[in-house]
């Protein structure tokens, strides 16, 4: 530990709009948005919801070796900028000249009160970082994470479609000298202590294990899309953190084929955006499910492991993982996901145990896989009820069938009794109705602001009818 | 770019992040951060407030309670609301304690350490509860056609309904809605020398902020200045409700003699501040076989929340808009504001208008369903038209374009063909495709003027500088609507210069006193008119100077000779009707005027003429003019989940001769989408104890970019005949919001294709409410 300490770096370092920036002490534990606004006077970045739901705080960040991605700075901690390249609204215009995105927003009247505008400019700039040409659908998808209350969005869409000759921020800000400068520091772990707070960022799993053994109560800092919210809302002080950010071995997606089964193992640091890219060709049906939830800004940082560890009964990836026969890989063992959620927000993880990867089966051609989600608002909303169904057909009905629901019990739920009822049967209308009746017995929905018990039950049944009808008709 | 539509004057600073909002102001040395601790009970006796633990935390500077204010009560109409609750809390979220700390972290920690002990009291949480317990704010208001409310003339209305060929009765429940301005309530107060205070507030009503602070702190008005540079959205939510937050900062500034900043979180903002008034409406209607309305009798109850705020005025506007676009021969509306233990309801774009309008549009749909007519036919049968153009409050509708709007939009949106297609779809494909479709075309007629006469005044200061550029100060506040841009254009037009040479300054009460809130869609009408009056006076003087310049050889102009005093000074005389302004560059005239000691500044006051609405009789000319429009919305319903999609929206609006087309279109689209949220997804959810549970965007769902209509056509109606208002323009702020009613009636329309006909009586039409209507559970 002693040697480790002496080797550890006691500051966080990143490039902010091209300027090398070191942060020490308490500022490291602040959210990025607060740090920018109140410690640096960079007030272009706005804080509205402080929970990652409005996008007013959008900035761009590139992790080492990765692309610039839009993230919500209000729920990211300064610690998470370590070794990154960061671009804020102040870094968009060039020598007083508006960027093409900014210019289009002015010309198309894309701002009214202006409070959401920096966030939109950042999200739109991010879109053009990665797409030379766009269409309306692409624009809507990239701007889903940004709320505007004034314009009705149409002028903003018009602006997006009017942008010409985007000036690459990657080229401007991710320059070789800066990459080299940061790379020199990447081999050392980071340890920051203040009077009341501590942060450790190990660079190897061994360091992590040692530290966790000594400090079992330390909190794992992943993407912080939930922890950042807890901090902002005064629900958790985040006093002792261990960040997994620098553990390169958690960054990989591995494909394993045994006979006809293809499993994918998704490292704990892999973001949902990165995962979607990986799945796009090999499992388009699974990739498409990722479009239905969270904002791009969240998907650019959030991970499968985080969603699983958080164990929310309405976590959107959880029914999908249950339907795809996932397992949770820790340092020492592999836990089948249908044994992982043991109570309301309680998991089978033991103290000190961390999730290294999530593995699941990729549907093969001919398989039926569908995810269904209903919420108050179609996009960027927490589900009222969600459901996933995986089915493989043989000449006698479904040979394999997994049905999973969220939002209908204290945990995400596999409907094993419903599955048993349906397996190897001819799927006729009366059987579907029996399955629906069984579903009503197996779920225990509760009323809350996203829907009443009666609505959740009714909609769950309607969804099952849809899924089964489709699955029966499939192939 | 459209040359008639300069961009918003802050557009460049918006897109670069350099526009300064209150909380963007640099933090000064010794500045403290301020926040409030609020009630967790809807109604309770406060037994104890203990701030010792909070004050013991290093970095916590002070805590203040109700007793620290010189005068505790405030209110825009009635002074009934305490700035801080003391003995009793009246709603969940009511502020009790002000805390000041050296840092945000400390402040957050300190908030959790304030201990408050309550003894819960029975709470009234709904309108129905309040009606049962006769818990009301002010008395009942009544407006009836042909009646002066003297109760000596018996009303024929009851017998007309009884004798009508058809009658129907119904109810309508409208929930509240949160403004969700992105910038939450905030203010910074600077204590200055000699017991004066300068406060920067995000407020639609700087004069009220000034007065509330002076009153609360025991200062004379002239010791307080309020500055409003811009707001990050307001929508009515900062008309009255910005004032208490400014007062909190001001109190801390006064007591500590340190700059004090309050910028509350979105969660606290949603819990503390009032929202759109919820309404419960019941009505009876009589009508003819052909759909002609004969009589309407309606009772409106609104939830005013714990304090009066603006609720009585909001109710008045609801009563005045219960006719909307339709002539009802016998119309009686009665309104009562209820007092409940919820946040005090307040202004929200449309004020009460949307409630009255939604009611009558629902009635029209129901009549059409009863008679198997197309609702548009019923609308056109009843629309205000020549001979049928006097409202129930006795105002004749001048420059009425409603029939033309219906006709043009019907054609432009291909209403009849799409109606036939939808009928066909719903009959043949809806069940298999799990998708029902509906289409509805509704109108809006929105009265422009404050219904309280004295608010219809404004003042402006125009200063022309020697290089020919101009600064304008008015009481208008900029909340994104572009009022400053429009005023700059108006003033530029008077002088014949570029709008870029006119700068509209931050609104401050030391330049423009006794101003009205920027509200009621009247910001440009009132303040633009005052600015134009001032500019015209300067122009008249400059015109004389120009005439003098024409008469005088150039080298004898004062511009070149004043220093020597060799020429006689030019004297202003009677104004000339001829214009000489074009003969010289503006800048040269200005310079010559200065050297001739001609004033280049002017202050003007404007009041809207000919208003005469008598609140006691409920009769008279309430409005200067009406903004009118129509919208057709087509929706689809997913019958598995009850979710709604907006397929297409066509809007046609009469905004007279727009000053700035693009800004007006922005108001229309933005207002419509905002209304759409209220009509569909925005669901304020309270727990059984009256605490708001949906207090952030993760739970309160305003429309996002995926929710806008896939086809969105907005067209401005050509109308050059509006002479009532400045430059023939019409106000655009609130009216478009009311067009979103067409989305709600379209949902009703889709449901009406089912047998038995499901019914929907509540706004918003959430997925759950729709599925319940579809499947009757």
pLDDT at B577 over 90: no
Average pLDDT over residues B238-242: 98
Whichever domain contains A123, its CATH number is 1.10.150.120
**Distances in whole angstroms, Cα of residue B656 to Cα of each of A215, A454, B492, B521, B712:** 70, 50, 20, 14, 21
Please answer yes or no on whether B14 and A143 come within 8 Å at the CB atom: no
Do A183 and A149 belong to one domain? no
Closest Cα in chain B, distance from residue A330 (Å): 31
Do A181 and A160 belong to one domain? no
Q: Cα torsion at B505, B510, B514, B520 (round to 10°)?
A: 20
Suggest the residue from A121, A135, A150 to mutate for an interface test with chain B (most B CBs closer than 10 A): A150
Size of interface A-B (CB pairs under 8 A): 239
CATH of B279-390+397-451+615-775, one of 1.10.10.60, 3.30.365.10, 3.40.1260.10, 3.40.50.720: 3.30.365.10
The pTM is what? 0.97
Residue A94 inside a domain? The answer is no
Question: Which tokens sit at A377?
Answer: 């608002």
Please compute Rg for chain B using Cα positions: 28
pLDDT band (50, 70, 90) for residue A1: very low
**Distances in whole angstroms, Cα of residue A315 to Cα of each of A295, A410, A443, B86, B483:** 14, 11, 16, 42, 44
Is some CB atom of chain B closer than 8 A to the CB atom of A191?
Answer: no
Give chain B positions within 8 Å (CB) of A49: 266, 696-698
Can you say whether the dihedral through the CA atoms of A141, A147, A152, A156 is positive or negative?
negative
Do A191 and A294 belong to one domain? no
Answer yes or no: same fold for B279-390+397-451+615-775 and B457-607: yes
Angle, nearest 10°, between helix axes B353-371 and B741-751? Answer: 30
Do A321 and A416 belong to one domain? yes
B593-646 pLDDT, tens digit each: 999 999 999 999 999 999 999 999 999 999 999 999 999 999 999 999 999 999
Residue A348 inside a domain? The answer is yes
Residue A377 inside a domain? The answer is yes
Sheet holding B502-504, edge to edge: B502-504, B470-474, B457-464, B601-607
Say yes or no: ipTM exceeds 0.95. yes
**Known catalytic membership, residue B734:** yes
Is some CB atom of chain B closer than 8 A to the CB atom of A456?
Answer: no
**Ordered DSSP codes for B414-471:** THHHHHHHHHHHHHHTHHHHTEEEEEEEEEEEEEES-SSGGGSEEEEEEEE-TTS-EE
pLDDT at B334 over 70: yes
Residue A95 inside a domain? The answer is no
Which residues constitute the domain of residue A260?
251-473
Give chain A positions within 8 Å (CB) of B106: none
Do A439 and A340 belong to one domain? yes
- pLDDT for residue A376: 86
- pLDDT for residue B298: 98
Average pLDDT over residues B688-715: 97
Do A119 and A141 belong to one domain? yes
Average pLDDT over residues B691-705: 97
pLDDT at A152 over 90: yes
Give the A window 2-31 contacts with B, CB below 8 Å.
Answer: 26
Give chain A positions within 8 Å (CB) of B640: 459, 462-463, 465-466
Do A137 and A12 belong to one domain? no
Please answer yes or no on whether A50 and B17 come within 8 Å at the CB atom: no
- Domain B30-123+185-263 CATH class label: alpha beta
Is some CB atom of chain B closer than 8 A to the CB atom of A451?
Answer: yes
List, in sequence order, every residue forming a beta bridge with A400; answer none if it has no partner.
A392
Question: Which of A112, A145, A166 marks a domain boundary?
Answer: A166
pLDDT band (50, 70, 90) for residue B559: very high
Residue A430 inside a domain? The answer is yes
Mean pLDDT is lowest, of A74-78, B144-148, B343-347, B654-658, for B144-148
Residue A460 inside a domain? The answer is yes
- pLDDT for residue A91: 98
- pLDDT for residue B3: 53
Give the A window 368-397 contacts with B, CB below 8 Å.
Answer: 374, 376-382, 384
pLDDT at A138 over 90: yes
Percentage with pLDDT > 70 across chain A: 99
Residue A72 inside a domain? The answer is yes
Please answer yes or no on whether A377 and B703 come within 8 Å at the CB atom: yes
Please answer yes or no on whether B480 and A114 come within 8 Å at the CB atom: yes
Burial B487-520 (b: 16+ CB within 10 A, else e): bbbbbbebbebebebbbbbbbbbebbeebbbbbb
Average pLDDT over residues B494-519: 98
B374-412 pLDDT, tens digit each: 999 999 999 999 999 999 999 999 999 999 999 999 999
Question: Which of A144, A166, A188 marks a domain boundary?
Answer: A166
Give chain B positions within 8 Å (CB) of A143: 705
Give chain A positions within 8 Å (CB) of B683: 376, 449
Do A83 and A185 belong to one domain? yes
Do A113 and A239 belong to one domain? no
Residue of A nearest to B660 (CA): A109
Do A223 and A352 belong to one domain? no
Residue of B nearest to A100 (CA): B15
Q: How far apart are CA B129 and CA B133, in angstroms?
A: 6
Whichever domain contains A257, its CATH number is 3.30.390.50
- pLDDT for residue A405: 98
Closest Cα in chain B, distance from residue A231 (Å): 10
> What is the number of structural domains in chain A?
3
Select from A116, A152, A462 the Cβ nearest to the Cβ of B640: A462
Question: Which of A206, A227, A243 marks a domain boundary?
Answer: A243
Please answer yes or no on whether A121 and B640 come within 8 Å at the CB atom: no
Question: Which tokens sit at B539?
Answer: 């122009």
Domain B457-607 adopts which CATH fold? Aldehyde Oxidoreductase; domain 4 (3.30.365)
Catalytic member of B569, B734, B768, B775 = B734
Residue of B nearest to A116 (CA): B182
Residue A26 inside a domain? The answer is yes
Parse chain B into domains and list their residue ranges: 30-123+185-263, 279-390+397-451+615-775, 457-607
pLDDT band (50, 70, 90) for residue A5: very low
């Amino acid at each position: 530990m002693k040697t480790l300490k002496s080797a550890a770096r006691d500051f966080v370092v990143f490039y902010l709009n091209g300027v090398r920036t070191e942060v020490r002490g308490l500022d490291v534990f602040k959210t990025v948005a607060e740090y920018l606004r109140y410690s640096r006077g960079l007030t272009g970045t706005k804080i509205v919801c402080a929970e990652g739901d409005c996008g007013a705080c959008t900035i761009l960040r590139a992790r080492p070796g990765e692309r610039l991605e839009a993230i919500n700075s209000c729920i990211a901690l300064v610690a998470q900028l370590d070794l990154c390249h960061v671009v804020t609204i102040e870094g968009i215009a060039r020598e007083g000249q508006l960027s093409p995105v900014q210019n289009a927003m002015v010309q198309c009247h894309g701002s009214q009160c202006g409070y959401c505008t920096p966030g939109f400019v950042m999200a739109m700039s991010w879109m053009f970082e990665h797409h030379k040409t766009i269409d309306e659908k692409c624009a809507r998808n990239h701007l889903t994470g940004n709320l505007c209350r004034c314009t009705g969005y149409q002028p903003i869409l018009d602006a997006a479609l009017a942008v010409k000759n985007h000036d690459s921020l990657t080229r401007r800000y991710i320059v070789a000298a800066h990459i080299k400068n940061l790379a020199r520091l990447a081999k050392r772990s980071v340890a920051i202590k203040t009077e009341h707070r501590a942060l450790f960022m190990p660079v190897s799993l061994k360091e992590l294990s040692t530290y966790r053994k000594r400090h079992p109560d330390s909190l794992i800092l992943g993407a912080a899309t939930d922890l950042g919210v807890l901090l902002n809302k005064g629900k958790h002080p985040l006093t002792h953190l261990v960040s997994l950010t620098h553990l390169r071995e958690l960054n990989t997606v591995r494909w394993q084929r045994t006979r006809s089964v293809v499993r994918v193992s998704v490292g704990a640091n892999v973001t949902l955006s990165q995962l979607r890219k990986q799945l796009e060709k090999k499992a388009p049906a699974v990739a498409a499910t990722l479009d239905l939830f969270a904002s791009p800004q969240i998907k650019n940082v959030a991970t499968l492991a985080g969603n699983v560890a958080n164990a929310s009964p309405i976590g959107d990836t959880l029914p999908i993982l249950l339907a795809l026969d996932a397992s949770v890989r820790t340092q020492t063992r592999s836990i089948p996901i249908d044994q992982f959620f043991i109570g309301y927000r309680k998991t089978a993880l033991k103290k000190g145990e961390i999730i290294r990867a999530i593995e699941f089966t990729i549907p093969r051609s001919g398989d039926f896989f569908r995810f269904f989600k209903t919420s108050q608002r179609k996009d960027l909303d927490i589900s009222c009820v969600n459901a996933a169904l995986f089915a493989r057909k043989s000449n006698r009905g479904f040979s394999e069938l997994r049905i999973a629901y969220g939002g209908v019990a204290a945990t995400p739920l596999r409907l094993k009794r419903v599955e048993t009822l349906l397996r190897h049967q001819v799927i006729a209308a009366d059987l579907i109705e029996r399955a629906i009746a069984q579903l009503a017995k197996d779920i225990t929905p509760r009323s809350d602001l996203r829907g009443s018990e009666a609505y959740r039950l009714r909609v769950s049944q309607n969804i099952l009818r849809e899924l089964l009808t489709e699955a029966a008709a499939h192939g | 770019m459209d040359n008639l539509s300069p961009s918003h004057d802050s557009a460049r600073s918006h897109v670069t992040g350099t526009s300064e909002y209150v909380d963007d102001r640099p933090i000064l040395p010794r500045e403290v951060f301020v926040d409030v601790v609020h009630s967790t009970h809807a109604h309770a006796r406060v037994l104890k407030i203990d701030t010792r633990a909070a004050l013991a935390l290093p970095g916590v500077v002070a805590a203040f309670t109700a007793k620290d204010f010189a005068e505790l009560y405030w209110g825009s109409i009635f002074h009934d609301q305490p700035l801080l609750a003391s003995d009793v809390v009246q709603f969940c979220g009511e502020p009790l304690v002000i805390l000041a700390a050296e840092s945000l972290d400390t402040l957050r920690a300190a908030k959790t350490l304030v201990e408050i002990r309550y003894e819960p009291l029975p709470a009234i949480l709904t309108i129905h509860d309040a009606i049962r317990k006769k818990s009301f704010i002010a008395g009942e208001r009544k407006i009836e056609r042909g009646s002066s409310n003297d109760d000596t003339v018996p009303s024929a209305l009851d017998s007309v309904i009884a004798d009508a060929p058809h009658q129907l009765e119904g109810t309508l429940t409208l929930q509240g809605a949160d403004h969700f301005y992105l910038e939450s309530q905030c203010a910074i107060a600077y204590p200055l020398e000699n017991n004066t205070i300068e406060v920067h507030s995000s407020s639609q009503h700087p004069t009220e902020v000034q007065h509330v602070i002076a009153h609360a702190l025991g200062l004379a008005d002239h010791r307080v200045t309020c500055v409003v540079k811009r707001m990050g959205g307001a929508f009515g939510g900062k008309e009255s409700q910005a004032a208490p937050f400014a007062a909190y900062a001001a109190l801390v500034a006064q007591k500590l003699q340190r700059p004090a900043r309050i910028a509350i979180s979105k969660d606290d903002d949603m819990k503390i501040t009032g929202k759109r008034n919820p309404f419960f409406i019941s009505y009876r209607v009589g009508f003819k076989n052909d759909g002609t309305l004969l009589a309407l009798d309606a009772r409106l109850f609104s939830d005013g929340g714990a304090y009066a705020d603006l609720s009585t005025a909001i109710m008045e506007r609801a009563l005045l808009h219960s006719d909307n676009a339709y002539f009802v021969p016998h119309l009686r509306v009665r309104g009562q504001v209820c007092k409940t233990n919820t946040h005090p309801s307040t202004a929200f774009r449309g004020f009460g208008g949307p409630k009255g309008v939604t009611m009558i549009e629902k009635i029209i749909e129901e009549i059409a369903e009863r008679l198997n007519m197309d609702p548009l036919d019923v609308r056109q049968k009843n629309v205000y038209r020549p001979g049928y153009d006097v409202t129930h409050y006795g105002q004749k509708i001048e420059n009425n374009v409603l029939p033309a709007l219906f006709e043009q939009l019907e054609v432009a949106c291909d209403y009849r063909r799409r109606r036939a297609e939808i009928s066909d779809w719903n009959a043949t494909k809806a069940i298999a495709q799990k998708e029902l479709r509906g289409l509805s075309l509704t109108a809006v007629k929105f009265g422009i003027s404050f219904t309280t006469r004295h608010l219809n005044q404004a003042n402006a200061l125009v200063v022309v500088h020697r290089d020919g550029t101009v600064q304008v100060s008015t009481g208008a506040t900029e909340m994104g609507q572009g009022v400053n841009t429009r005023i700059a254009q108006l003033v530029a037009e008077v002088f014949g210069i570029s709008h870029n040479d006119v700068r509209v300054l931050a609104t401050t009460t030391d330049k423009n006193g006794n101003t009205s809130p920027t509200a009621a869609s009247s910001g440009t009408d009132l303040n633009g008119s005052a600015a134009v009056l001032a500019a015209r006076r300067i122009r008249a003087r400059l015109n004389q100077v120009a005439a003098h310049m024409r008469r005088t050889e150039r080298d004898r102009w004062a511009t070149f000779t004043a220093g020597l005093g060799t020429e006689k000074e030019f004297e202003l005389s009677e104004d000339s009707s001829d214009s000489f302004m074009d003969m010289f560059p503006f800048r040269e005239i200005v310079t010559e005027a200065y050297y001739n000691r001609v004033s280049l500044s002017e202050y003007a006051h404007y009041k809207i003429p000919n208003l005469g609405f008598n609140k006691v009789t409920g009769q008279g000319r309430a409005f200067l003019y009406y903004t009118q429009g129509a919208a057709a919305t087509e929706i689809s319903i997913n019958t598995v989940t009850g979710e709604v999609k907006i397929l297409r929206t066509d809007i046609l609006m009469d905004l007279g001769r727009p000053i700035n087309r693009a800004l007006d279109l922005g108001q229309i689209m933005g207002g419509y989408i905002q209304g759409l949220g209220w009509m569909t997804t925005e669901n304020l959810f309270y727990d059984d104890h009256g605490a708001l549970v949906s207090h952030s965007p993760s739970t309160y769902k305003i429309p996002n970019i995926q929710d806008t209509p896939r086809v969105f056509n907005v067209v401005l109606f050509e109308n050059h005949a509006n002479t009532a208002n400045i430059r023939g323009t019409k106000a655009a702020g609130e009216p478009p919001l009311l067009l979103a009613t067409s989305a709600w009636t379209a949902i009703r329309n889709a449901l009406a294709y089912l047998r038995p006909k499901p019914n929907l009586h509540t706004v918003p039409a959430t997925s759950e409410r729709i599925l319940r209507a579809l499947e009757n559970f």
